[in-house]
Amino acid sequence: MRIAVAGGTGLVGRMVVAEAEARGHEPVVLARSRGIDITTGTGLDAALAGADALIDVSNVTTVRRAVSVEFFGRATRNLLWAGELAGVRHHLALSIVGIERVDYGYYEGKREQERLIHEGRVPWTVLRSTQFHEFAELVLSQVPGPLAIVPRQRIKPVAAREVAAKLVALIAEEPRGKVLELGGPEERDLPDLARRIVHARGESRKVLGVPLPGAVGSAMASGELLPGPSAFVGTQTFDQWLLEKFGRL
């Protein structure tokens, strides 16, 4: 199967490409580094020629609502339009668990992405994932200094490679026309995960967990980012990932 992968050079995208190749598929990476811009449509028609399916794991780094909506809106419209012209039979997008329950700026863009897919004419599936194990490390990188202030969040972290594997497995199936969820095997608190990373890296930084202000912070701290009972469940725990990455707990 020829599978176009939007965002195929990112963290999950690289894993999706590797997983697709391991399963005998032919992945085609859609990325600016390959001369393809999903926000303008440049190079999309040629890249999607002959593609059977498309996996969208594209992303933008922002917390601003307008930036997120603009990116995911433009990218999704272009991918759906080009996919329809190319005869793509299955459009599969990666989204985030809880975006309909938390009024966070970045999530508004993901909601727009899902809305466009649902209203589009290409058969589709959406897989919402919980935060990856790497998420706590990313948060730490954004707050340099001896004291790391980390937002309180109840999450079920999942291995990014398990998300990639589920995406490739789903793309080979018939489109579901529905939203599915995938989460990790255990519930954890984000500041605690950050402390575990600091310790595993042999650092002396202090981690202070604080709730984000307002309704957003309350929702995240109270578990609105947790998946429902029908979600797929990954197998790798955070501690297993930590040991694999750093060689110590």
Global pTM value: 0.96
CB 245 within 8 A of CB 161: no
For the stretch 86-142, pLDDT in tens is 999 999 999 999 999 999 999 999 999 999 999 999 999 999 999 999 999 999 999
| Nearest residue to 132 via CA among 181, 184, 70, 201 | 184
Q: pLDDT tens across 205-235, in order?
A: 999 999 889 999 999 999 999 999 999 999 9
- 154-155 and 188-189 beta bridge pairing: antiparallel
Q: What is the pLDDT of residue 168?
A: 98
Domains in the chain with CATH codes: 2-246 (3.40.50.720)
Residue 136: partners with Cβ closer than 8 Å, 6 or more residues away: 150, 157, 190, 193, 194, 196, 197
SS3 at position 193 = helix
Q: What is the pLDDT of residues 104-117, one digit of tens each?
A: 999 999 999 999 99
Residue ranges of alpha helices (H) inside 60-129 are 65-86, 105-119
